[in-house]
Amino acid sequence: MQLPNDFFDNPARDAAELNQRLTAHINSYNNTPLASCSGLSPNQMADALYRPLSAAAPVRLQSPLSDAVLDQVPFFRQVEELLRLVQREKIIKLTATGALPRKFVQELYEHGLMRSKYVDEGFIKLNREFDSPFIETVHYLAHVAKLVKKPLGKLSLTKKGESLLVAGQRPELFRLVLEVFTGRLHWGSFDSFGSGKSEVGQLGWSFCVYLLARFGQQPRPFSFYVDKYVLAFPNFLEEQPPTNYWTPATFVDHLFSSRVLYCFGKWFGLVEIENDSLEVGDGPATVSASPVLSQLFIVSPGGKG
């Protein structure tokens, strides 16, 4: 920032002018698209990280959300089916471990909202809630969101759960499910890489939605999104020291793929995965954004950076 030769002749005036110029410089930087953030500015990234879905955020919910769109979100639909099941039964006695009994797990699975090839092909018998991470997570979220309660091991709906099953409340229920899933469930429970404390993927989840919206019109390798994410959050490469099995980069790659693409992306219907085998680790080739993503979210275009 170039200052005039006589800048310090009038200290009061000069201090005010310097403050004005510094403020303008900071504002300019904070609103400048950054290549490291795939075209989002520092202000937009701050909103994405700390105020997701707010009016100023780069990713916001569409309004209104139609039933036709919400019907295409598997995780949300499974939450609804669980709540309806509890509403129908009034009280469900849970197992000694606090899980749903087998017959109810099987009933929820038969809605076909998220199939497992290992279950469908008989490699795993669906005897326990644990056998379906999808249903297990739905049940856990319902508790965290205070949609259900389980005094003395007996599952029933809360008043909030009852009220959000009323016709016309689906958008409110969806927003609650999304906010709890992204903000209060730890995504480390979605993978088996010994990474319970890492926030890879969950930190900046709306930035991941932005990336899919901006670049997902054509199929791209998983690594494309991992690289964009690591460029914005390079500190994640320092979390995990190299081992005989992982480099820091491959570790982040596995966490991102498991959490963002397979769990969040697929469970909320946001992605289409080519040669999708339905399970983590089977190596489908590419990922693209599904039409549902743009029907659920308004996404700012971002600059060139």
Task: Give 226's contacts (C-beta < 8 A, 6+ positions apart).
Answer: 252, 253, 256, 257
- Residue 289 near residue 212 (C-beta atoms within 8 A): yes
The phi, psi pair for 61, rounded to 5°, reads: -75, 140
Helix (H) / strand (E) containing 180: helix 170-183
pTM for the whole thing?
0.88
Total residues found in the chain within this entry:
305
Listed by start position, the domains of the chain span 67-185, 188-299
Reported as a single tens digit per residue, the pLDDT across 203-255 is 999 999 999 999 999 999 999 999 999 999 999 998 877 888 889 999 899 99
d(CA 8, CA 20): 15
Q: Report the pLDDT value the prediction gives residue 100, as an integer from 0 to 100.
A: 98
CA separation (Å) from 278 to 24, 140, 207, 287? 50, 22, 24, 13
Split the chain (305 residues) into runs of 10 and give each run's mean pLDDT: 60 72 73 94 96 96 96 98 98 97 97 93 92 96 98 97 96 98 92 72 97 97 96 92 85 92 96 70 76 97 75
Sign of torsion over alpha carbons 255, 260, 261, 264: positive
